[in-house]
Amino acid sequence: MTKPISNLRNFTIGRGTELRCKGWRQEGMLRMLENTIANGEKPEELIIYGGSGKAARNWESYHAIVETLKALENDETMVIQSGKPVAVFRTHEDCSRVLCANTNLVGKWATWDHYRMLEAKGLMMYGQYTAGTWAYIGTQGILQGTYETFAACGKQMPEGDLRGRIVLTAGLGGMGGAQPLAVKMAGGVCIAVEVDRSRAERRVDTGYCDLICDDPAQAMALAREAAQNGRQLGIALIGNAAELLPRLRTMGLKPAIVTDQTSAHDPLNGYVPAGLALSEATTLREKDPGEYTRRSLDSMSAHIRAMLDFQRDGAIVFEYGNYLRGHARENGVANAFDIGGFVPMFIRPSFSRGRGPLRWICLSGDEADLRTTDATVQAEFSDDPLLRTWMDMAREKVAIQGLPARTCWLGMGERERLGALLNDLVRSGKVAAPLVISRDHLDTGSVAQPTRETEAMKDGTDAVADWPLLNALLNAACGADLVTIHQGAGSGMGGSISAGHLLVADGSEGAARRLAKCLHVDPGIGVIRHADAGYEDAIAARDAAGMRDPMQPA
Ligand code: NAD
C-alpha cells in the first residue's frame, strides 16, 4: 500500500487559476477533496469528522482518485465504491463527473459487526455525510444549523433569546465544536464537556470556544457570572460527559438547555467510556473491542439518565442527532426517548419549505472572492432579516479554514437564484476562479434518518428511504458534478440513508444549465417529500413553486 502523506503540514490544497485537470469540473472536485482532508479531525488517517467518517478508503485509493481526476476527460465519469475508485466510463459532457456510493449494506446486514469485518479487510469505509462527499469545510459547515437550533430554543424563553441562560452540552469534535460559538451567537453561555483536551484546544485556536477549564466548580462559577451579566461565553470543560453531567447537577447547575454532540453513534470508535483516561481508552479499544463497547453503552446510559434528570428539573433537553437515546434505550434506559430530537422540535418547518443548509466554496483560495460573494448574496436577499443577521455574524466571527467558504440556509427558488448569481460572478470575472456549491446531507429531501431528520414524520414514514435515493437520482439526472449515496452517518450502522452533491459554477453555459436544474430538483424533492407526508406549509411551497401533484387531476 502507498505510504500515507507523511507530514500533513506539507499537504496543500490546490488554489489559484491553474488547472491540474482537464476541466474545472474535475479540478473543483479535486480541490474539494483536498480541502476536506486538510480540514479533517485526523487527516493522517483520512478521518474527517463524526467518529470515523472518511474521505477516501485509504491512501492508496486517495492517490488513485487524484490521478484519475487529473486524467478524467470532459465526457467521462469516475465511479467510487466506499472510497475506492473502481471504474471510469465514457458518458457524456453534461453528465456527472463522479458518482459515489459509500457504506451501503443490505438492510439485514447493516450491523456494526458485519461492517467492521468488511472494513478490517479493506473492503469498505464509513462515509458520514460531507466527508465522503468531499464537501466538508470544517466546523463552520454546521455552525449556522447549530445557531438556528439554539436561536429556536431562545425563542422559547420569555426574553426571546438565550441571554442570561446556560447551555450544557458535550463533544467538541468536527461538528460539535460549533456549539459554543453558536450558543454565543444566540446570546447565551455554553459549557461543553470534552474528554480530549486537544479537541478543546483546537476549538479555542479557531475561535469557536473562549477558554478551557479542568475544574467543574470553576466552569460553573464562570458560566454563572457571565450569564448573570448577560455576557456571552464558551467554556470547554475537560472530562467525561457520563461522569460530569450527573456531577454538575449534584453541584447545583441549572442549565436552561441540555444536549450532546459526542460521537455516540459509534460506541467503539466514537464515544469514550467513563472511568478511563484517553490513552487507556485507546489501549482498551485495540485490546478488547467487546469490553470497550459494553463500557461505552453503560456510560451512554448514565449520560442519558443525567439528561433525563435535567429535563425533570425543567431544562429544555434534546438529542442532537447522535443516536445517544437509541443506544441508551437498547442498553436498558426504557424512557430514553422521553427526550425529543432536534429536527421535530426546531428544524422541520424549514425543511417543509425546502429551506436548508447551502454552502459555497471559493476555489481560488482568495478571501477577496468570499467578500465578493458575501456582498452579492446579501444584496440579492436583502429582504430576509434572518439571512442578513446570519451573514453579518458569520462575516465577523467565522474564521476561514482552508478554502474560503460560506454557509447560508436558503429555500426553494432561492437556491436557483443563488446558483445563477454565483455562476455570473465567475463568468464576468468578478471572482478569480470558479466556485463550488454544495450542502450538508442534513437537508430537506436528501436523508432518511428516523432518529434525526425524519423523526416523528406526520404520516409515520420516518424510515422510508426512497426519498434520498430519488434525490440522488434526480441530481445525477440533472448533471450534478458529483453525487453520493451514503448509509449509516450520525445514527450509526443501519441508521440512515442519505445523498450529497457537489456543483461546480465555472461560469459556463453548461454550468448555468446544470445549476438551475440541480438547485431546483434538490430542494424540490424535499418539499414534495414533506407535502406527501401532509405538512401544510410544504403543500403551499409545492404549489407556489409550480410543482404539480400527479395524483391530482391537472
Ligand atoms: P467527532 O468524532 O469529530 O467529535 C466527537 C467528540 O466527542 C470528540 O471530540 C470526542 O473526544 C468527544 N467525546 C467522545 N466521548 C465523549 C465523552 N464520553 N465525554 C466527553 N466527550 C466525548 O464528531 P462530530 O463530527 O463532532 O459529531 C458528533 C456527533 O454529532 C456525531 O454522532 C454526529 O453524527 C452528530 N452530528 C450531529 C449533527 C447535527 O447537526 N446535529 C451534525 C453532524 C454530526
Residues 385 and 481 in one domain: yes
- Residue 150: name the closest of 139, 163, 140, 136 by CA: 163
Residues 26 and 132 in one domain: yes
How many A from CA of 266 to the centre of ligand 1?
Answer: 9
Q: State residue 453's pLDDT score.
A: 96
> 277, 304, 338 — which closes off a domain?
338
- Position 74 in a domain: yes
Residues 359 and 316 in one domain: no
Q: Is a pLDDT exceeding 90 seen at residue 4?
A: no
Q: What mean pLDDT do residues 270-277 have?
A: 97
- Position 440 in a domain: yes
What tens digit of pLDDT does each residue of 429-454 get?
999 999 999 999 999 999 999 999 99
CA dist 501 and 117 (Å) reads: 29
Q: State residue 140's pLDDT score.
A: 84
What tens digit of pLDDT does each residue of 452-475 get?
999 999 999 999 999 999 999 999
- In terms of Cβ atoms closer than 10 Å to its own Cβ (0-12, 13-18, 19+), residue 383 is exposed
Residues 93 and 217 in one domain: no
- Position 387 in a domain: yes
- For ligand 1, say whether the CB of 390 is within 6 Å of any of its atoms: no
Query: C-alpha angle with apex 302: 300 to 308, nearest 5 degrees?
Result: 100
- Strands 340-341 and 47-49 turn out to be unpaired
CATH of the domain at 315: 3.40.50.10730
- Is there a contact between 39 and 134 (Cβ–Cβ < 8 Å)? no
Crossing angle of helices 509-532 and 466-477, in 10° steps, is: 160
- For ligand 1, say whether the CB of 318 is within 6 Å of any of its atoms: no
Residue with CA nearest ligand 1 atom 23: 50
- Is there a contact between 357 and 441 (Cβ–Cβ < 8 Å)? no
Q: State residue 389's pLDDT score.
A: 84
CATH of the domain at 17: 3.40.1770.10
Query: Would you list the DSSP string of 168-223?
Result: EEE--STTGGGHHHHHHHTT-EEEEEES-HHHHHHHHHTTS--EEES-HHHHHHHH
- Strands 98-102 and 76-81 turn out to be parallel
> 293, 309, 338 — which closes off a domain?
338
Confidence of residue 90 (pLDDT cuts 50, 70, 90): very high
Neighbours of 353 (CB within 10 A): 24
Q: State residue 3's pLDDT score.
A: 45
Q: Is a pLDDT exceeding 70 seen at residue 5?
A: no
How many A from CA of 390 to the centre of ligand 1?
Answer: 24
Residue with CA nearest ligand 1 atom 4: 173
- Report how far Cα 5 is from the mean position of its chain's Cα atoms: 26
Q: Is a pLDDT exceeding 80 seen at residue 510?
A: yes
Residues 109 and 176 in one domain: no
Catalytic residue, chosen from 95, 100, 213, 408, is 408
Crossing angle of helices 278-287 and 289-312, in 10° steps, is: 130
- Position 472 in a domain: yes
Structural domain count, the chain: 2
- Residue 320: name the closest of 85, 515, 120, 491 by CA: 491
Task: Please indicate whether residue 408 is annotated as part of the active site.
Answer: yes
- Position 350 in a domain: no
- Position 344 in a domain: no
CA dist 478 and 501 (Å) reads: 11
- For ligand 1, say whether the CB of 24 is within 6 Å of any of its atoms: no
What tens digit of pLDDT does each residue of 366-423 get?
999 999 999 999 999 999 888 888 899 899 888 899 999 999 999 999 999 999 999 9
What tens digit of pLDDT does each residue of 530-539 get?
999 999 999 9
Amino acid identity of residue 493, one-letter, is: M
How many A from CA of 21 to the centre of ligand 1?
Answer: 35
- Position 347 in a domain: no
- Is there a contact between 486 and 134 (Cβ–Cβ < 8 Å)? no
Percent of the chain scored above 70 by pLDDT?
A: 98
Q: Strands (DSSP E) along 187-320, which ranges?
A: 189-194, 211-213, 233-238, 257-258, 316-319
How many A from CA of 194 to the centre of ligand 1?
Answer: 10
Q: What mean pLDDT do residues 285-313 have?
A: 98
Residues 366 and 221 in one domain: no
148-162, 206-220, 264-278: least confident range: 148-162
Q: Which domain holds residue 1?
A: 1-136+355-554
- Strands 497-505 and 435-439 turn out to be antiparallel
- What end-to-end distance do the CA atoms of the chain give, in Å? 59
- Is there a contact between 216 and 239 (Cβ–Cβ < 8 Å)? yes
Q: Is a pLDDT exceeding 80 seen at residue 2?
A: no
3-state class (DSSP) for residue 286:
helix
What tens digit of pLDDT does each residue of 44-59 get?
999 999 889 999 999 9
Residues 25 and 78 in one domain: yes
- In terms of Cβ atoms closer than 10 Å to its own Cβ (0-12, 13-18, 19+), residue 490 is buried
Residues 222 and 118 in one domain: no
CA dist 484 and 443 (Å) reads: 14
3-state class (DSSP) for residue 157:
coil
What predicted TM-score, i.e. pTM, was given to this entire model? Answer: 0.91
Residues 205 and 329 in one domain: yes
Confidence of residue 245 (pLDDT cuts 50, 70, 90): very high
Residues 378 and 487 in one domain: yes
Residues 156 and 260 in one domain: yes
CA dist 207 and 178 (Å) reads: 10
> 338, 371, 394 — which closes off a domain?
338
Q: State residue 554's pLDDT score.
A: 76
Query: C-alpha angle with apex 56: 52 to 62, nearest 5 degrees?
Result: 145
- Position 346 in a domain: no
pLDDT, the chain, mean = 95
Q: State residue 397's pLDDT score.
A: 86
Residues 549 and 411 in one domain: yes
- Residue 258: name the closest of 339, 160, 323 by CA: 339
